[in-house]
């Protein structure tokens, strides 16, 4: 849930850094030049977490931006999805890539089952229904 | 007679044909074939039918016939509750609310969530260009405007990329966008862009425009921080030809978000015409569809207003206005707007400058979605409206209207320091990560380079080798920060850490976010609160001072110092020795040279670059050649040419005098004439040469003999002298006016040359 006061969390890095963790779950303060140089922090730390995105969704909704908030929530679901899978799903959603509606529906099931990505799955299912109605399951190349 | 022009034709056409505008081709308005800015006869009338809480028809089309764009808009953009309210309001009434200071932005943004594309196009289409400008002032998302630069070079050279990134950051660009000539060079260029910007400050947002999967990889490696290449189109066929759907783009937006990258879509008039499937609809209506899709996707912002189709949009009647209307519509839909003005829409500089004015005056989140901060030939996108060569003209436009377009003057030593620092930092990174070595000659050539034609540096192939090495080593932001730390570039490393921390927090993913002074500024914590005069953002204090500065400015101290330097030399060349109060002369051949209070004293050179010693030498020689006798009198009670001349004429035995000011303005005057009539007047001092002064002397002597000589002609070829000379002219005159003493009598002077 959110309320207008959620916008007061913002900027989170300045007002509530205690709510943030790096990509490996370390506190934000762990991300320093020294730690990156010594190797005790690394690129895996320089990544946003699903929790941070859900926090930004609360901020967005608090500021009156429901659609932006929904995107942040979809983004939160994709944090745990590997790059290769993300790119694979994107490719499937492009016109003419999936040969039938079943392929998209199976992809949605997989996202729901393997990553708990309910919102993303709904998006893919909605796309599948529209593609079927508009005849997009056709070869383009 | 054949002078090369076409016979029997007005020669003005020959002249016009030579002008850049003649290369622009203007399209005949033709809605059936897509050449229509607003209100095509084929645009649907706004309308919405809601049955059982679901949209049953939109803009005249039943849900069963919805194409995928309609479907996406109906399910993701339209808020049915607001729609019931807003679709019932007359569009003219809504248009008036856009320019009503009593209706706040938040209320308009709320109403827009219920507007269909046709409604949006109809409402925004009702505003004049001036009304759009005012509406944009109110609707912009972020309080303070910003700007985005293109930073590219024809060699994909990372050393130059870093130096140019630093330069752009220094001038104030919030975002830097690069792309490459050779796709596989993207990694190297992204690295150089990031490091170069960080040599100046932390938090400059950077992007590398490249194929989606590679762009995601660059972002995940921390080498870029935003993207704006997600194209959205207004018809289904073009969307499919663009190889996407609203859902694939919505997914991609979420994907970028999940990797902590700020995302922005791109759309704009002309793309549907260029890609042939425009459905006979107007450009503004198609853009309304694009923007509703974008809002529905939940992307924070858009790059719109023509963009790549700008020259097509600009070719139709009202097309330039339409491009700006797109920006206003984006702001109404609560999207951050990077308002086009990137791809140059015209060959005419005048049309280009006129196009940028509405967004610049109103202020948009990012005035240009790609200001070519580099040499025009180095722009790997396309020539921009403004390029490195025009950067100072943009600064002048900001200053003229005292508006903040995101940039400000930077002193030369700061530019050189930033470029040098960036060159050293990227060289250290390339060497420390064992990607490449950089020679002293390379660094030196880049430091002073206007563009890649001035550099001796890597070949495209050598850059590709660096890119391969980067891929092999999987170089990422953490590696770069560590490398900079090891090489002692701790300030640059800390600046990069600003972005790394942002990546964790995601504050810069919110609407219209940029990072200034190391802190996020967005529509959330600094929303635009403009509600008419006395409200909103106005540049003041230090920011106003910065906007006021220009490299070529001059002030009174500059003029005084310049005059002082020449004065030192002039004191050695000649002297004007006072001889006491001047009385009426007896010699009928006598011509008075009436000099101003500061002539040959505080002031020493005319605006025509003639030294006062030489001016007096020529005037006296001319008078002697004309059979006259010169007598020099300093007028002390006025510095006005007419009154000086008349005072001198009354003192002259012949009744003829030459009045001359320090800046060189000259008159031949006759006793008895009214003050502002004269025999000959030479107001355009910058054009008067020493030969002219000699001739003026001769003519004055001829008048003394009672003759009527041929006037001295100083040919003005329509030169616009004002901008070049008027500031100095006014300052010089002020100096003389201050020296005048209303009670002081004219004084005779002896002219003594040292040679």
On whether any CB of chain A is under 8 Å from the CB of B592, the answer is no
Q: From CA B220, how far away is CA A23, in angstroms rounded? A: 12
- Please calculate the CA angle B454-B460-B465 and round it to the nearest 5 degrees: 130
Residue B204 burial (CB < 10 Å; 0-12/13-18/19+)? buried
pLDDT surpassing 90 at residue B229? no
Q: Are residues A100 and A59 in the same domain?
A: no
Q: Which of A13, A32, A96 sits opposite B505 (nearest CB)?
A: A13
Tokens of B544: 């106003």
- Using an 8 Å CB-CB cutoff, list chain A residues near B500: 31, 36, 45-46
Q: Which of A17, A56, A71 sits opposite B299 (nearest CB)?
A: A71
On whether any CB of chain B is under 8 Å from the CB of A42, the answer is yes
Percent of chain B with pLDDT over 70: 99
- Ranges of CATH 3.20.20.350 domains, chain B: 142-224+341-550
- Phi, psi dihedrals of residue B145, rounded to the nearest 5°: -65, 170
pLDDT surpassing 70 at residue B602? yes
The answer to whether B163 touches B176, Cβ cutoff 8 Å, is no
Q: Which residues contact A40 (CB under 8 A, 6 or more apart)?
A: A30
Give chain A's domain count.
2
Pick from B348, B263, B340: nearest CA to B307: B340
B195-207 pLDDT, tens digit each: 999 999 999 999 9
B283-337 pLDDT, tens digit each: 999 999 999 999 999 999 999 998 889 999 999 999 999 999 999 999 999 999 9
Q: Are residues A54 and A91 in the same domain?
A: no
Per-residue pLDDT, A2: 56
CATH code, residues B556-753? 3.40.50.10150
Per-residue pLDDT, B720: 63
Q: Which of B77, B255, B300 sits opposite A68 (nearest CB)?
A: B300
On whether any CB of chain A is under 8 Å from the CB of B63, the answer is no
- Report strand pairing: B747-753 vs B629-634: antiparallel
8 Å CB contact of B258 and A83: no
Q: Which of B243, B258, B524 sits opposite A78 (nearest CB)?
A: B258
Q: How confident is the model at residue B212 (pLDDT cuts 50, 70, 90)?
A: confident
Count the Cβ atoms, other than its own, within 10 Å of residue B93: 11
Q: What is the mean pLDDT of residues B388-398?
A: 97
- Using an 8 Å CB-CB cutoff, list chain B residues near A55: 506
Q: Are residues A72 and A113 in the same domain?
A: no
- Phi, psi dihedrals of residue B381, rounded to the nearest 5°: -85, -75
Residue B322 is among the residues annotated as catalytic for this protein:
no
- Adjacent-strand bridge partners of B369: B148
Q: Are residues A1 and A18 in the same domain?
A: yes
Q: Given B164, B228, B404, B640, which residue is catalytic?
A: B228
Containing B251, the helix (H) or strand (E) segment is helix B246-258
Pick from B551, B555, B557: nearest CA to B413: B551
Q: What share of chain B is helix, strand, coil (3-state, %, to 5)?
A: 50, 15, 40
A121-136 pLDDT, tens digit each: 999 999 999 999 999 9
B142-224+341-550 homologous superfamily = Diol/glycerol dehydratase, large subunit (3.20.20.350)
Higher pLDDT, B723 or B628: B628
Q: How confident is the model at residue B411 (pLDDT cuts 50, 70, 90)?
A: very high
Per-residue pLDDT, B6: 67
Q: From CA B170, how far away is CA B197, in angstroms rounded? A: 8
Per-residue pLDDT, B724: 87
- HEC sequence for B390-453: HHHHHHHHHHHHCCCCCCCCCCHHHHHHHHHHHHHHHHHHHHHCCCCCCCHHHHHHHHCCCCHH
The alpha carbon of B472 is separated from its chain's Cα centroid by a whole number of angstroms, namely 42
pLDDT surpassing 80 at residue B3? no
DSSP for residue B103: S
Residue B150 is among the residues annotated as catalytic for this protein:
yes
Pick from B658, B662, B582: nearest CA to B626: B658
A67-108 pLDDT, tens digit each: 999 999 999 999 999 999 999 999 999 999 999 999 999 999
My answer on whether omega of the bond before B743 falls inside 30° of 0, hence cis, is no
8 Å CB contact of B298 and A45: no
The DSSP secondary structure of A8-76, one letter per residue, reads GG-SHHHH-GGG-B-TTS-BGGG--HHHHHHTSS-GGGSS--HHHHHHHHHHHHHTT-HHHHHHHHHHH
Residue B136 is among the residues annotated as catalytic for this protein:
no
8 Å CB contact of A68 and B212: no
Nearest CA in chain A to B486: A37
Residues in chain A: 141
pLDDT surpassing 90 at residue B415? yes
Tokens of B60: 């005249």
On whether any CB of chain A is under 8 Å from the CB of B105, the answer is no
Q: Given B40, B91, B303, B502, which residue is catalytic?
A: B303
CATH code, residues B23-139+225-253+269-295? 1.10.220.70
Q: What is the mean pLDDT of residues B405-428?
A: 98
pLDDT surpassing 70 at residue B236? yes
The answer to whether B234 touches B282, Cβ cutoff 8 Å, is no
Per-residue pLDDT, B7: 77
Pick from B284, B271, B275: nearest CA to B231: B271
CATH number of the domain residue A131 falls in: 1.10.1510.20
- Report strand pairing: B146-150 vs B366-372: parallel
Average pLDDT, chain B: 95
Q: How confident is the model at residue B44 (pLDDT cuts 50, 70, 90)?
A: very high
* Interface probe, candidates B211, B235, B506, B516, chain A, greatest A C-beta count within 10 A: B506
Per-residue pLDDT, A138: 77
Distances from the Cα of B699 to the Cαs of A69, B55, B244, B651, B658, in angstroms? 83, 89, 81, 18, 10
Q: How confident is the model at residue B379 (pLDDT cuts 50, 70, 90)?
A: very high
Q: Are residues A59 and A86 in the same domain?
A: no
Count the Cβ atoms, other than its own, within 10 Å of residue B631: 24
8 Å CB contact of B258 and A59: no
Q: Which B residues, 434 through 493, put their C-beta within 8 Å of a C-beta on chain A?
A: 476-479, 481-482, 485-486, 490, 493
Q: From CA B474, how far away is CA B256, in angstroms rounded? A: 20
Q: How confident is the model at residue A4 (pLDDT cuts 50, 70, 90)?
A: low
Q: Are residues A72 and A91 in the same domain?
A: no
- Using an 8 Å CB-CB cutoff, list chain A residues near B497: 31-33, 36
The answer to whether B733 touches B663, Cβ cutoff 8 Å, is yes
Residue B432 is among the residues annotated as catalytic for this protein:
no
Q: What is the mean pLDDT of residues B453-470?
A: 92
Q: Are residues A131 and A71 in the same domain?
A: no
Distances from the Cα of B553 to the Cαs of B112, B548, B609, in angstroms? 46, 9, 19
- Phi, psi dihedrals of residue B55, rounded to the nearest 5°: -80, 115
Pick from B675, B678, B674: nearest CA to B666: B678
On whether any CB of chain A is under 8 Å from the CB of B500, the answer is yes
Q: Are residues A54 and A88 in the same domain?
A: no
The answer to whether B49 touches B59, Cβ cutoff 8 Å, is no
Domain end marker among A79, A103, A118: A79
State the complex-level ipTM: 0.97
Half-sphere exposure of A75 (CA within 13 A, CB side): 35
Q: From CA B235, how far away is CA A96, in angstroms rounded? A: 17
B74-125 pLDDT, tens digit each: 999 999 999 999 999 999 999 999 999 999 999 999 999 999 999 999 999 9
Q: Is the Cα torsion angle B451, B453, B455, B459 positive or negative in sign?
A: positive
Mind telling me how many Å the CA of B484 is from chain A's nearest CA? 9
First to last CA, chain B: 55
- Ranges of CATH 3.40.50.10150 domains, chain B: 556-753
Domain end marker among A25, A52, A79: A79
pLDDT surpassing 80 at residue B719? no
Domain end marker among A25, A45, A79: A79
- Ranges of CATH 1.10.220.70 domains, chain B: 23-139+225-253+269-295
Per-residue pLDDT, B53: 87
- Please calculate the CA angle B593-B596-B598 and round it to the nearest 5 degrees: 130
- Report strand pairing: B54-58 vs B61-62: antiparallel
Distances from the Cα of B740 to the Cαs of B122, B245, B558, in angstroms? 65, 77, 21
Q: What share of chain A is helix, strand, coil (3-state, %, to 5)?
A: 65, 0, 35
Mind telling me how many Å the CA of A109 is from chain B's nearest CA? 16
The answer to whether A60 touches A70, Cβ cutoff 8 Å, is no
Average pLDDT, chain A: 94
Q: Given B175, B177, B244, B322, which residue is catalytic?
A: B177
B563-575 pLDDT, tens digit each: 989 999 999 999 9
Pick from B189, B184, B183, B262: nearest CA to B227: B262
- Using an 8 Å CB-CB cutoff, list chain B residues near A21: 504
Q: What is the mean pLDDT of residues B14-24?
A: 97
Q: pTM above 0.90?
A: yes
Residue B553 is among the residues annotated as catalytic for this protein:
no
Q: What is the mean pLDDT of residues B41-59?
A: 96
A90 is in which domain, residue-wise?
Answer: 80-141
8 Å CB contact of B106 and A64: yes
8 Å CB contact of B257 and A32: no
Q: Which A residues, 104 through 123, put their C-beta within 8 Å of a C-beta on chain B?
A: 120, 123
Q: From CA B363, how far away is CA B665, in angstroms rounded? A: 43
8 Å CB contact of A47 and B236: no
Mind telling me how many Å the CA of A119 is from chain B's nearest CA? 10
């Amino acid at each position: 849930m959110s309320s207008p006061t959620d916008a007061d969390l913002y900027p989170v890095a300045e007002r509530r850094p205690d709510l943030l963790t790096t990509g490996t779950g370390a506190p934000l303060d762990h991300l320093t030049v020294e730690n990156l140089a010594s190797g005790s922090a690394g690129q895996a730390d320089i990544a946003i977490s699903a929790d941070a995105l859900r926090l930004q969704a609360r901020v967005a909704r608090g500021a009156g931006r429901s659609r932006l908030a929904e995107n942040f929530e979809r983004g939160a679901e994709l944090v745990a999805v590997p790059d290769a899978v993300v790119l694979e799903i994107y490719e499937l959603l492009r016109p003419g890539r999936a040969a039938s509606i079943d392929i998209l529906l199976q992809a949605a099931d997989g996202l729901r089952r393997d990553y708990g990505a309910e919102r993303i799955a709904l998006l893919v299912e909605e796309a599948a229904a529209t593609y079927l109605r508009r005849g997009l399951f056709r070869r383009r190349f | 007679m054949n002078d090369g022009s076409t016979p029997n034709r007005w020669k003005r056409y020959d002249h016009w044909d030579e002008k850049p505008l003649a290369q622009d081709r203007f399209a005949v308005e033709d809605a059936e074939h897509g050449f229509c800015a607003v209100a095509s006869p084929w645009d649907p009338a706004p309308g919405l039918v809601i049955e059982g809480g679901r949209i049953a028809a939109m803009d005249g089309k039943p849900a069963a016939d919805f194409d995928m764009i309609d479907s996406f808009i109906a399910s993701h953009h339209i808020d049915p509750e607001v729609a019931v309210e807003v679709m019932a309001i007359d569009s003219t009434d809504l248009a008036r609310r856009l320019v009503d200071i009593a209706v706040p932005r938040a209320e308009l943004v709320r109403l827009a969530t219920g507007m269909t594309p046709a409604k949006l196009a109809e409402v925004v289409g009702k505003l004049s260009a001036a009304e759009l400008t005012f509406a944009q002032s109110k609707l912009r998302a972020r309080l303070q405007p910003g700007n985005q630069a293109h930073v590219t070079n024809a060699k994909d050279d990372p050393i130059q990329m870093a130096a140019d990134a630093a330069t752009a950051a220094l001038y104030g660009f919030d975002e830097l966008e690069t792309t490459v000539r050779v796709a596989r060079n993207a990694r190297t260029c992204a690295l150089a862009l990031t490091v170069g910007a960080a040599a100046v400050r932390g938090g400059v947002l950077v992007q590398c425009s490249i194929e989606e999967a590679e762009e995601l990889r660059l972002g995940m490696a921390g080498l870029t921080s935003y993207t704006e290449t997600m194209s959205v189109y207004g018809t289904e066929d073009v969307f499919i030809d663009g190889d996407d759907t609203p859902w694939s783009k919505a997914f991609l937006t979420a994907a970028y978000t999940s990797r902590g990258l700020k995302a922005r879509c791109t759309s704009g008039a002309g793309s549907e015409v260029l890609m042939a499937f425009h459905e006979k609809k107007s450009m503004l209506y198609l853009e309304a569809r694009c923007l509703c899709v974008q809002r529905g996707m939940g992307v924070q912002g858009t790059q719109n207003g023509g963009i790549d189709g700008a020259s097509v949009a600009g070719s139709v009647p009202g097309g330039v206005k339409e491009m700006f209307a797109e920006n206003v519509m984006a702001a109404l839909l609560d999207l951050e707007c990077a308002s086009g003005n990137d791809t140059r829409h015209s060959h005419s500089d005048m049309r280009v400058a006129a196009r940028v004015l509405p967004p610049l005056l109103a202020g948009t989140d990012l005035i240009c979605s790609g200001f070519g901060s580099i040499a025009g030939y180095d722009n790997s996108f396309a020539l921009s409206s403004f390029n490195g060569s025009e950067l100072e003209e943009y600064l002048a436009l900001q200053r003229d209207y005292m508006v903040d377009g995101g940039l400000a003057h930077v002193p030369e030593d700061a530019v050189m320091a930033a470029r040098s620092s960036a060159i050293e930092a990227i060289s250290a990174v390339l060497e420390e990560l064992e990607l490449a070595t950089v020679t002293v000659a390379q660094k030196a050539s880049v430091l002073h380079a206007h563009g890649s034609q001035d550099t001796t540096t890597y070949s495209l192939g050598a850059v590709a080798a660096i890119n391969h090495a980067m891929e092999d080593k999987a170089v990422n932001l953490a590696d770069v920060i560590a490398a900079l730390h090891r090489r002692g570039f701790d300030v640059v490393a800390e600046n990069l850490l600003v972005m790394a921390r942002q990546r964790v927090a995601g504050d810069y993913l919110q609407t219209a976010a940029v990072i200034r002074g190391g802190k996020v500024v967005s529509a959330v914590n600094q929303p635009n609160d403009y509600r008419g005069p006395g409200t909103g953002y106005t540049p003041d204090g230090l920011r106003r001072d910065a906007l006021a500065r220009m490299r070529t400015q001059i002030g009174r101290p500059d003029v005084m110092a310049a005059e002082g330097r020449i004065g030192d030399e002039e004191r050695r060349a000649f002297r004007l020795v006072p001889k006491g109060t001047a009385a009426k002369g007896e010699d009928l051949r006598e011509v008075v040279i009436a000099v101003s209070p500061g002539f040959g004293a505080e002031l020493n050179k005319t605006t025509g670059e003639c030294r006062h010693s030489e001016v007096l030498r020529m005037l006296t020689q001319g008078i002697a050649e004309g059979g006259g006798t010169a007598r020099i009198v300093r007028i002390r009670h006025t510095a006005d040419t007419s009154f000086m001349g008349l005072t001198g004429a009354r003192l002259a035995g012949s009744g003829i005098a030459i009045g001359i000011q320090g800046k060189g303005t000259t008159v031949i005057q006759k006793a008895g004439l009214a003050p502002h009539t004269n025999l000959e007047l030479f107001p355009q001092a910058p054009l008067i040469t020493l030969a002219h002064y000699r001739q003026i002397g001769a003519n004055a002597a001829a008048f003394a003999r009672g003759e009527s000589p041929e006037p001295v002609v100083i040919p003005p070829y329509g030169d616009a002298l004002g901008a070049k000379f008027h500031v100095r002219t006014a300052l010089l005159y002020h100096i003389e006016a201050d020296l005048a003493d209303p009670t002081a009598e004219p004084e005779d002077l002896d002219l003594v040359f040292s040679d």
